[in-house]
Structure 1
Amino acid sequence: MADEANRTAFVEIQGRMIETTGKLKQVQTQIRNKETEKKRAYLTMEELKQLSDDTNTYKAIGRTFVLEPKAVLMNEQEQKFKDGETAIASLQTSKEYLEKHLAEVENNLRELLQQDPGLARQIMTMSVA
């Protein structure tokens, strides 16, 4: 009976670990994407700063380019940059939470396996076979 309860607990903890790891990878990917967007906005702002105010500037909308004043493009890029910083800060908080949760789940798994060495042996034979 206790053996079955330990096995059920192991499967549950393993499922939480897999779920948390997946969410952590997803958040890391989102952080990388936001950092790329933020860098692109920064580089675009730097290039726009070098242009005189009367230069014709164009905004890409799909396959079409629309004439826009330089100030409008600068404001859009600054907003993208700020939004990227905000999103990255939020995602970093989520990442830290998920990392703590993953460590907690790993500790629970470790404790379970230390409590029931027979379960640990069964798991080792299952993964080898």
Structure 2
Amino acid sequence: MANEANRTAFVEIQGRMIETTGKLKQVQTQMRNKEGEKKRAYLTLEELRQLSNDTNTYKSIEILVRFVLEPKPVLMEEQEQKLKDSETSIASLQTSKEYLEKQMAEVENNLRELLQQDPGLARQIMSMSVA
């Protein structure tokens, strides 16, 4: 009876670990994307700062290879907002990442405790993964 309960607990813990790992990878990918957006906005701002304010500039529109003529101050404002938005998103994603890392550590501890309580279960798992 206890052996079956331990197997059920193991399957549940394994499912939580898989789910948490997936969420953590997703957050890390989102963070990388936001870091890229932040870097592009920063670099664009650096280039725009070198131009006079009355310079008209071209702004790319979405992923299409199209450009629109814009006054420099408009483009500067948009890039500054992108930079701020990226920083805010990164901070939020960092909080999510830390939370998920704590969840992962908790799941790993639960799994470790379960395997210490039932060495037979640990042997079964090892024989399944080796085979």
Distance 1:27 1:68 in 2: 34
- Identity among equivalent positions (%) equals 86
Distance 2:23 2:51 in 1: 43
In the superposition, the TM-score normalised over structure 1's length comes to 0.97
Determine the structure 1 residue equivalent to 2:75.
73
Displacement of 1:63 in angstroms is 2.7
Distance 1:26 1:64 in 2: 31
Displacement of 1:81 in angstroms is 0.1
Query: Following superposition, which runs of at least 4 residues in structure 1 exceed 6 angstroms of deviation?
Result: none
Unmatched runs of 5 consecutive residues or more in structure 1: none
Unmatched runs of 5 consecutive residues or more in structure 2: none
Displacement of 1:54 in angstroms is 2.0
RMSD across aligned C-alpha pairs, in angstroms?
0.7
In the superposition, the TM-score normalised over structure 2's length comes to 0.96
**Count, aligned residues:** 129
Distance 1:108 1:71 in 2: 55
Determine the structure 1 residue equivalent to 2:90.
88
Q: Could you give the per-residue CA deviations for residues 3-30 of structure 1, whole angstroms, max 9, x where no partner exists?
A: 1110010000001001101110110111
Distance 2:20 2:5 in 1: 22
Determine the structure 1 residue equivalent to 2:118.
116
